[in-house]
């Protein structure tokens, strides 16, 4: 029997070193994963840091993922890419700088309440740097038709997303 393909959204952020190289490498590596059927990125934003404000500006985007992985397996795949980007969580401060941050935001209507995996992501609705790219991707792409995403579109349309500190960013030509 063919495995069921499901959809999820992942928040991506980086603010240390070559931010775009770290993001691009992670996206390429995820694309090569057999259990990931498709990966669609939002526009990219350069964003002012939130929380610890004395640190470099971030690049942020959201990716829509089609996968046969479970939420737990997808999280593992994301954490492996963070590790590959040289992230060492023991040395980090909360809200501090990071080479690569991959957050599992939503996985259709799945919910989890574990420290290891909380779904939907607990800070999703507080973060303009997540909501702006998520809204842009959902408005532009016809790929996301699950009922969960229709509800999400409705909620996003009613949500004020403060534009301060968010600027569209264009990747360098390769
Ligand atoms: P952070 O420093 O914000 O990237 O925290 C990542 C840690 O939060 C990891 O140890 C994850 O296991 C855990 N975690 C819980 N829920 C999620 C989620 N929805 N997406 C990513 N990490 C999560």
Decide if 1 is inside a domain: no
Instruction: Encode burial over 105-140: b for 16+ CB neighbours within 10 A, e otherwise.
Output: bbbeebeeeeeebebbbeebeebbbbbbbbbbbbee
CB of 119 closer than 6 angstroms to any ligand 1 atom: yes
User: Which atom of ligand 1 lies at the shortest distance from residue 78's CA?
Assistant: 21
User: Which atom of ligand 1 lies at the shortest distance from residue 119's CA?
Assistant: 19
pTM score: 0.93
Residue 172 C-alpha to ligand 1 middle, in angstroms?
A: 30
Length of the chain: 174
Q: Tell me the CATH number at 52.
A: 3.30.70.560
Decide if 167 is inside a domain: no
pLDDT of residue 86: 82
Residue pair 121/152 in contact by the 8 Å Cβ criterion? no
Looking at the 3D structure of the chain, how many domains does it have?
A: 1
Per-residue pLDDT, averaged over 111-135, amounts to: 97
pLDDT of residue 78: 97
Residue 35: which domain range? Answer: 6-124+133-162
CB of 141 closer than 6 angstroms to any ligand 1 atom: no
Q: How many helices (H) and strands (E) does the chain have?
A: 4, 8
């Amino acid at each position: 029997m063919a495995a069921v393909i499901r959809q999820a959204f992942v928040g991506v952020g980086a603010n240390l070193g070559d931010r775009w190289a770290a993001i691009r490498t992670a996206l390429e590596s995820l694309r090569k994963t057999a259990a990931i059927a498709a990966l669609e990125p939002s526009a990219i934003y350069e964003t002012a840091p939130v929380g610890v404000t004395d640190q470099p500006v971030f690049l942020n985007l959201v990716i829509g993922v089609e996968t046969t992985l479970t939420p737990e397996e997808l999280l593992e795949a994301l954490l492996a890419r963070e590790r590959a980007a040289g992230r060492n969580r023991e040395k980090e401060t909360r809200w501090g700088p990071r080479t690569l941050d991959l957050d599992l935001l939503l996985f259709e209507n799945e919910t989890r309440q574990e420290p290891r995996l909380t779904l939907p992501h607990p800070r999703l609705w507080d973060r303009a740097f997540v909501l702006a790219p998520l809204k842009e991707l959902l408005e532009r792409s016809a790929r996301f038709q699950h009922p969960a995403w229709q509800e999400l579109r409705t909620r996003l349309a009613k949500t004020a997303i403060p534009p301060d500190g968010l600027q569209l960013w264009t990747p360098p030509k390769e």
